[in-house]
Structure 1
Amino acid sequence: MTDRPDLSNLPSYRQSRRSLVSARKFALMASVAAGLGVAVYGFSPSTSPSDLFSSPAHAQVNTEVRKVERPIGFADVVERVKPSVMSVKVNIKEKTASNDDNEDSPFQPGSPMERFFRRFGGPDGVPGLRGGPRGGGRAVTGQGSGFFISADGFAVTNNHVVDGADKVEVTTDDGKTYTAKVIGTDQRTDLALIKVEGSSNFPFAKLADGKPRIGDWVLAVGNPFGLGGTVTAGIVSAVGRDIGNGPYDDFIQIDAPVNKGNSGGPAFNIDGDVMGVNTAIYSPSGGSVGIAFSIPSSTVKTVVAQLKDKGSVSRGWIGVQIQPVTSDIADSLGMKKAEGALVAEPQANGPAAKAGIQSGDVITSVNGEPVKDARELARTIGGMAPGASVKLNVLSKGQDKVVNLTLGQLPNTVEAKANTEDSDKGAEQRGTDVPKLGMTVAPANSVAGAGKDGVVVTQVDPKSAAAERGFKEGDVILEVAGKSVATAGDVREAINTARTDNKNSVLMRVKSGGQSRFVAIPLAKG
């Protein structure tokens, strides 16, 4: 066996080693620089630029540096998922395109969604409506987006895209047009399931299993302004957004550009799974300003499963009107943290009322899982099936108790508000001041239209604590500090008791506009 010659002392060998080390250092510097988005112009002092890449030994280093410097894109992901996205075109007969006609709106009249987020469809912010003279009552067409969730043609879009449609057509990424039928819709989440006819081998997307994180990449694919398949990129800006649409709000906020016509289109994560369905944007102008909202895939899975099974969605219901627990309310109830859902009023003959839940109770957990706020309680109960048995932990009059009940089914119709007549203008003459609160009250049974229970507010000082908390003339105070009141004297007594107990605020149950709510008013000392 022949020994290898020792070349370490040869000048040419030492120079080659120094050049290779310098090349490696440069490759590392270039890698870091590419990650930071800057360029590197310096080289090792012992190696000139021409020497660095002149020999074949350095060719591999040169190739790697060029690979690192190349920008990272989304082309591979887009190429894989884009065929699953479609444009959706609907025809609606005998439907007016008037901006004053709100029958097509999927959102509560007067809500922030109604005013600011209905920006996906046709002119004047009316979603999905294009063509036809305003107020003409003629057939109109609408355009949106959607995506396949199975090879046999089931696809997801928004309820407001296909609601009331007489005809639905979809155009796939390869330019082919198919007819579709609406399987079912859910107005509360603005989701719809359609079935596309004509093939059993459609490319489809997978709904993501996990929850997105703030800062994750997101790709929005859809049909903005009717242009056809368009891809935009951004990040997840926030999660769990409540935008005033309803009790089930749990939106993902993204900054990927989303415009009119993107309704119903998917928001993909970097793995190519659908993290959400684009449904609304915030835009005073109607175009993208970097604030869009998507329905989470977890909600889509639950809703679509029911729509596919029976064409509608049924939700659990306990029959209570609830509100958040503010810090003032928590203080008045002796709670350490402002958590849970405060029961403003249980509905007569509802599951909660039958189980003994009362106004002023705070629901703190469901089946052992803590309830953060009123919205979380609504989503948790709404995600359960009617007929399911649940265990509620409730704080009632300072005592913890466990309530077991069977869920009812959430009614499909909203109950009409109680009739509210204007208070008798002469009531101010009969009212009695409540010191330190800045309002005047009178027995409700002495004021026409105020009912027979509680005391009616007949006057409010606009600079008072009562005015700051939203009290107005005609409101009816039913309880103060958990006690029913019928006169101004009852109110004063309850307030004095709260002061004696060193409470910083007093909790009142107030009926306003046919709805009950709790209001915590800070108590002035002395």
Structure 2
Amino acid sequence: MNAVWKSWVAGAALLLSAGWMAQAQASLPDFAELVEDTSPAVVNISTRQHQKAGRQAGMVPGMPDLEGLPPIFREFFERSIPQVPPQQRRPQEREAQSLGSGFIISADGYVLTNNHVVEGADEIIVRLSDRSELEAELVGTDPRTDVALLKVKGNDLPYVKLGSSSELKVGEWVVAIGSPFGFDYSVTAGIVSAKGRSLPNENYVPFIQTDVAINPGNSGGPLFNLDGEVVGINSQIFTRSGGFMGLSFAIPVDVAMEVADQLKAQGKVSRGWLGVVIQEVNKDLAESFGLDKPAGALIAQVMPDGPAAKGGLRDGDIILRFNGKEIVRSGDLPHAVGRVKPGTSASVEVVRQGKRQQLQVTVGSLPDEGEALVAQAGGQEKRSNRLGVVVSELTADQRSNLDLKRGVVISEVTDGPAAVIGLRPGDVITHLNNSAIDSVKTFAEVVDELPKNRTVSMRVIRQGHASFITFKLAE
């Protein structure tokens, strides 16, 4: 009887397990129809870039490349190879190719891809799913978002349906189609891991993070939702090996289409700009500025005569909302500002000295890349203090070079709190414990009144770049 009972239990367990597996399999999406419908609009992109060969341009054509040999052997062989007379020499070119992906967004042949797929190309070839090849014209690129718009000649071309990345939810299934390592029309699937990701040196794209397998060659390809709509452009991966490691990033299609529309209309992209240097608000900074929890973007520096300065924003303001959008992290601000048309008036909610204020700022146009604030600081010793620094007044030249109206410059750092928090000679202190520092006297008075065992903030300018730091004075 016991053996019969065990057999019945085992059978029941097997049936339950099989039923659970069948139910689980039934709940998984079937991507076959989606891929069949959308893949004709996905394209492979190859480029050719003609690079001039350097040192062997005067040698006989067809001779082997000697660049990889050790110098002593290379020099020996070069002496042995007959040289072409200067009047008969022709510059040699080497052809470089790259492979990427893209997708057609209109029946008349507009194609979206990544800027880094076509950057520097002399010729761009778009290959369709039927293996036909079309030469593409580069309409325009936007390196800041890594988006490029191409145009091929054709009528009634297959094109994708565009979705809304703003409606995408974390945990939702997504599908990528592309050409990883040159394997055309490879399909991978996964889920949305996160939204609004800020990556280093990528200030204007709130990336979609997924666990979809993306590898070199997938760049520029579409990311689909289960309705077969494009919600992103696969752009970057996080890797230590050069291959997929579970972290992939896509440009939201809403951002990409805003860029594409501007490229189509005017060949370039203009985006909003405030003219501020910002930093993250951590727990200590939140405490020092009177916030209940870390939130917003802390203005470390307001650019002189910029939109923020003209709108009344100040160093030390914490922006909590911009144009109706909540700023949870500092990285949210560039995304929000960049999408505002220059010349538009925007509302800004800030915390200033513990109180909330509403300001109106006319958004400016983002300057060209490469513009930077360059400055140097120096000075003569005037007075020491309990922080362990020797400070002096800013000279007229320093005020002019740094474009500052206030502050004191550190000429020496002795043992004490200043050394612990990393202050250096040449640093300029403009604010301390939420008080503006306009002289050595003011600085000394504020230092004397600093509380003990409580987080204190300090605004420091180093080599033209401003940031807030925090510290505590022990008993």
TM-score class, shorter-chain normalisation, is 0.7 to 0.9
Determine if the alignment matches structure 1 residue 408 to structure 2 residue 364: yes
Which residue is equivalent to 1:205?
160
Q: 1:72 to 1:349 in 2, by over 3 A?
A: closer
Which residue is equivalent to 1:17?
none
Distance in 2, matches of 1:385 and 1:137, equals 43
Which residue is equivalent to 2:87?
none
Determine if the alignment matches structure 1 residue 319 to structure 2 residue 271: no
Is the contact between residue 413 and residue 419 of structure 2 (CA under 8 Å) also seen in structure 1? no
Which residue is equivalent to 1:279?
235
Over residues 165-186 of structure 1, what are the superposed CA-to-partner deviations in whole Å (9 max), with x where a residue is unaligned?
A: 2211111111110011111111
TM-score of the two chains, using structure 1 as the length reference: 0.72
Q: For 2:104, which of 115, 136, 148 is the aligned residue?
A: 148
Distance in 1, matches of 2:419 and 2:160, equals 53
Over residues 1-40 of structure 1, what are the superposed CA-to-partner deviations in whole Å (9 max), with x where a residue is unaligned?
A: xxxxxxxxxxxxxxxxxxxxxxxxx999854331246xxx
Unaligned residue ranges in structure 1 (runs of 5+): 1-25, 38-67, 98-135
Which residue is equivalent to 1:303?
259
- The secondary structure found in structure 2 opposite 1:141 is strand
Is the contact between residue 346 and residue 357 of structure 1 (CA under 8 Å) also seen in structure 2? yes
Q: 1:203 to 1:468 in 2, by over 3 A?
A: farther
- The secondary structure found in structure 2 opposite 1:32 is helix
Is the contact between residue 457 and residue 476 of structure 1 (CA under 8 Å) also seen in structure 2? no
Which residue is equivalent to 2:46?
89
Which residue is equivalent to 2:57?
none
Q: 1:178 to 1:288 in 2, by over 3 A?
A: same
Q: For 1:376, which of 332, 338, 358 is the aligned residue?
A: 332
For 1:90, the aligned partner's letter is: T
Over residues 432-483 of structure 1, what are the superposed CA-to-partner deviations in whole Å (9 max), with x where a residue is unaligned?
A: 6543x5x42321648x98978412163365xx76566553443222221222
Q: For 1:455, which of 396, 399, 409 is the aligned residue?
A: 409
Which residue is equivalent to 1:494?
446
Which residue is equivalent to 2:89?
none
Shift of 1:92: 2.1
Distance in 2, matches of 1:368 and 1:237, equals 26
Matches within 5 A, 1:184-195: 184-195=140-151
Matches within 5 A, 1:256-267: 256-267=212-223
Which residue is equivalent to 1:227?
183
Over residues 96-127 of structure 1, what are the superposed CA-to-partner deviations in whole Å (9 max), with x where a residue is unaligned?
A: 99xxxxxxxxxxxxxxxxxxxxxxxxxxxxxx
Higher strand share: 2
Between the two proteins, the alignment pairs up a number of residues equal to: 419
Higher mean displacement: 172-181 or 316-325? 316-325
Q: 1:336 to 1:169 in 2, by over 3 A?
A: same
Is the contact between residue 138 and residue 150 of structure 2 (CA under 8 Å) also seen in structure 1? yes
Distance in 2, matches of 1:414 and 1:308, equals 25
Distance in 2, matches of 1:236 and 1:382, equals 24
Determine if the alignment matches structure 1 residue 75 to structure 2 residue 32: yes
Q: For 1:443, which of 381, 392, 410 is the aligned residue?
A: 392
- The secondary structure found in structure 2 opposite 1:152 is coil
**RMSD over equivalenced CA pairs, Å:** 3.1
Distance in 1, matches of 2:53 and 2:334, equals 35
Is the contact between residue 411 and residue 425 of structure 2 (CA under 8 Å) also seen in structure 1? yes
Q: For 1:477, which of 429, 440, 465 is the aligned residue?
A: 429
Distance in 1, matches of 2:334 and 2:372, equals 20
For 2:159, the aligned partner's letter is: F
For 2:49, the aligned partner's letter is: I
- The secondary structure found in structure 2 opposite 1:374 is coil
Which residue is equivalent to 1:165?
121
Higher radius of gyration, 1 or 2: 1
Is the contact between residue 147 and residue 204 of structure 1 (CA under 8 Å) also seen in structure 2? yes
Q: For 1:391, which of 321, 344, 347 is the aligned residue?
A: 347
Distance in 1, matches of 2:295 and 2:256, equals 27
Distance in 1, matches of 2:420 and 2:232, equals 39
Question: What is the identity percentage for the equivalent residue pairs of Structure 1 and Structure 2?
Answer: 38
